[in-house]
Amino acid sequence: MTDFQSLGLCRPLLKAVEANGYETPTPIQREAIPYVLKGCDLLGLAQTGTGKTAAFGLPLADRLLADPEPVLPKGTRALILAPTRELVNQIAANIRLFLRQTPISVTSVVGGVSLNPQIKRLSRGTDILVATPGRLLDLVERGAVRLDTASVLVLDEADQMLDLGFIHALRKIAKLVSKQRQTLLFSATMPKQIEDLAATYLTDPVRVEVAPAGRTADKVAQSVHFVARADKTAFLTDLMVQRPDDTALVFCRTKHGAERLMKKLKAAGIAAGSIHGNKSQNQRDRAIRGLRSGEIKVLVATDVAARGIDIPGVSHVYNFDLPDVAEAYVHRIGRTARAGASGDAVTLCGPEEIVLLRQIERLTGVTLTIASGEVPTRPAPGQSKPARPPRRPRSQNGSGEAKTGAKPRRPRNRRRTRQDKKVA
Ligand code: AMP
């Protein structure tokens, strides 16, 4: 038997944990499981890859098993909300692994796929429903699901749900779930809005924090190459050609930038795929399966599409573009070094991105190791002018691709606008 026994989980779940190869609970599991079993509300502060899903999934399953109440048609006994389709599917798959030998049913619903099969699946009711907020509300409005039967509500990656504008959906959904419910809220970072959300929806929550908000995984080696934006594609291609055995996730700021970079990598003979908002759900699933199976070695992604995805064996995360929001860096690099493995996070920083780099270092408390290039002089406050002029004109789409044609000149007496800064 494993260390999980001391946490108070029932026998069928202990067996499932063992069959799954989990020997020792992760810190968030050790801290959270006993409280969730007791029925407490919980605010879990944990970065991605720390074993959060089992931290709420196991005790939730335990509580449902202990109380074998029948599920009402269209009803659910527990509701788990997550920001992206990938994360919903991943949570459902992870929880199903523990429930294989039990009668507990798990259903997932996400947007981007047809409604009718979901309506049909929900008609009989389900023990656990995992959903993205938008699709769930759609189904509620169509009368396909009732939430008043849910006695547990889990909000996973709550900070990202807010970033994606789900706050109104969350408010509506929380009102529909039974008032007597247990609420669990997980977030990797703790902005003020999450504090407010927690204060509104949680009752006397236990706060469990396994790493200070914004702290990056200890086992990720973090480095930075200072590279002019126009040179980034060639630079990254070279790095990847030299390291054919790595499994890498590459983050770009825009969908078009991600797609273009993926094509350039493929043209250089690298087995690459992409996931971003312009890809259908089937294409995204195929790309993730491809990376998992080793069919592709590099997945180029935007932040939203890659949020929460768990691909074991990602050895490198590349920040091709720095994220606009420092917190996103923590999520990005959390895609490697998952569940105790080690990993590398490599950032390509252009001179105009130095301010963003410093914000990340302030948030994480980590100074990135300089792997190559020279530190550009920091632009004056309010300016994002590069320390050295780029060799070629740049695109405005954050893709890192050079555009042909000369940069339009700014009249001397006109102040810089945001658009000028982007061009620079
Ligand atoms: P999560 O943070 O829930 O996405 O989990 C990240 C990864 O860690 C997943 O691949 C889990 O299967 C794995 N994992 C979670 N808990 C444990 C554990 N106690 N021992 C080993 N692996 C785990």
pLDDT per residue over 127-155, tens digit each?
999 999 999 999 999 999 999 999 999 99
CA dist., res. 319 & res. 359, Å (int): 15
Q: Is 34 exposed, middle or buried (0-12, 13-18, 19+ CB in 10 A)?
A: middle
- For residue 300, how many other CB atoms are within 10 A of its CB? 31
| Residue 402 DSSP class | B
- For residue 407, how many other CB atoms are within 10 A of its CB? 13
**Atom of ligand 1 lying closest to residue 26 CA:** 19
Arithmetic mean of pLDDT, 327-344? 74
CB 352 within 8 Å of CB 418: no
| Residue 84 DSSP class | S
CB 292 within 8 Å of CB 311: yes
The pLDDT score that the predictor gives to residue 401 is: 27
Highest-scoring range by mean pLDDT, 184-198, 260-274, 398-412 = 260-274
The pLDDT score that the predictor gives to residue 379 is: 53
CA distances from 287 to 240, 270, 314, 338 (A): 18, 14, 14, 19
Helices 52-66, 27-38: axis angle to 10 degrees equals 30
Tokens 């788990």 sit on residue = 80
What's the gap in Å between 342 CA and the centre of ligand 1? 14
The CATH code that applies to domain 220-372 is 3.40.50.300
Q: Is residue 213's pLDDT more than 80?
A: no
Tokens 């126009």 sit on residue = 230
The pLDDT score that the predictor gives to residue 65 is: 95
Q: Is residue 391's pLDDT more than 80?
A: no
Ligand 1 atom 19, closest CA: 25
Does ligand 1 lie within 6 Å of residue 331's CB atom?
Answer: no
The pLDDT score that the predictor gives to residue 93 is: 93
Mean pLDDT, the chain, integer: 84
Q: Is residue 424's pLDDT more than 70?
A: no
CA dist., res. 60 & res. 54, Å (int): 9
CA dist., res. 256 & res. 248, Å (int): 19
Predicted confidence (pLDDT) per residue in 312-327, tens digit: 778 899 999 999 888 7
CA dist., res. 174 & res. 233, Å (int): 45
The pLDDT score that the predictor gives to residue 140 is: 97
Does ligand 1 lie within 6 Å of residue 52's CB atom?
Answer: yes
Q: Is residue 299's pLDDT more than 90?
A: yes
Does ligand 1 lie within 6 Å of residue 53's CB atom?
Answer: yes
**Atom of ligand 1 lying closest to residue 24 CA:** 19
Does ligand 1 lie within 6 Å of residue 26's CB atom?
Answer: yes
Sheet holding 76-81, edge to edge: 106-109, 126-131, 76-81, 152-155, 182-187, 42-45, 206-209
What's the gap in Å between 97 CA and the centre of ligand 1? 12
Arithmetic mean of pLDDT, 15-41? 92
Q: Is residue 355's pLDDT more than 70?
A: yes
b/e sequence 82-98, b meaning 16+ C-beta within 10 Å: bbbbbbbbbbbebbbeb
CB 153 within 8 Å of CB 174: yes
Does ligand 1 lie within 6 Å of residue 309's CB atom?
Answer: no
The pLDDT score that the predictor gives to residue 337 is: 62
Ligand 1 atom 11, closest CA: 51
3-state secondary structure of 289: helix
Higher-scoring residue by pLDDT: 103, 217: 103
Does ligand 1 lie within 6 Å of residue 50's CB atom?
Answer: yes
Ligand 1 atom 4, closest CA: 49
What's the gap in Å between 338 CA and the centre of ligand 1? 7
Confidence of residue 250 (pLDDT cuts 50, 70, 90): very high
What's the gap in Å between 2 CA and the centre of ligand 1? 15
Tokens 């094509």 sit on residue = 263
The pLDDT score that the predictor gives to residue 235 is: 96
Q: Is 414 exposed, middle or buried (0-12, 13-18, 19+ CB in 10 A)?
A: exposed
**Atom of ligand 1 lying closest to residue 94 CA:** 12
Candidates 4, 53, 311, 342: which one to mutate for ligand 1, based on the most atoms within 8 Å of Cβ?
53
The pLDDT score that the predictor gives to residue 285 is: 84
CB 308 within 8 Å of CB 53: no
Does ligand 1 lie within 6 Å of residue 339's CB atom?
Answer: yes
Q: Is domain 4-209 classified as CATH 3.40.50.620?
A: no
Predicted confidence (pLDDT) per residue in 45-98, tens digit: 887 678 899 999 999 999 999 998 889 999 999 999 999 888 899 899 999 999
Does ligand 1 lie within 6 Å of residue 400's CB atom?
Answer: no
Establish how many alpha carbons lie within 13 A of residue 122's alpha carbon, considering only the half-sphere containing its beta carbon.
26
Confidence of residue 339 (pLDDT cuts 50, 70, 90): low
CB 307 within 8 Å of CB 84: yes
CB 124 within 8 Å of CB 103: no
Candidates 33, 47, 94, 291: which one to mutate for ligand 1, based on the most atoms within 8 Å of Cβ?
94
- pTM for the whole thing? 0.64
Q: Are strands 42-45 and 182-187 parallel, antiparallel or unpaired?
A: parallel
What's the gap in Å between 74 CA and the centre of ligand 1? 31
CA dist., res. 206 & res. 209, Å (int): 10
The pLDDT score that the predictor gives to residue 188 is: 80
| Residue 230 DSSP class | G
The pLDDT score that the predictor gives to residue 216 is: 56
Phi, psi of 151 (to 5 degrees): -105, -5
CA dist., res. 52 & res. 137, Å (int): 25
CB 100 within 8 Å of CB 13: no
**Lowest model confidence (mean pLDDT) among 235-239, 254-258, 322-326:** 322-326
What's the gap in Å between 42 CA and the centre of ligand 1? 19
CA distances from 211 to 107, 204, 268, 340 (A): 31, 21, 40, 14
Confidence of residue 378 (pLDDT cuts 50, 70, 90): low
Each domain of the chain, given as residue ranges in start order, spans 4-209, 220-372
The pLDDT score that the predictor gives to residue 303 is: 84
Q: Is residue 414's pLDDT more than 70?
A: no
Q: Which two tokens stand for residue 244?
A: 């054919």
**220-372 and 4-209 share a CATH fold:** yes
- For residue 1, how many other CB atoms are within 10 A of its CB? 10
Does ligand 1 lie within 6 Å of residue 49's CB atom?
Answer: yes
CA dist., res. 403 & res. 405, Å (int): 6
CA dist., res. 285 & res. 236, Å (int): 25
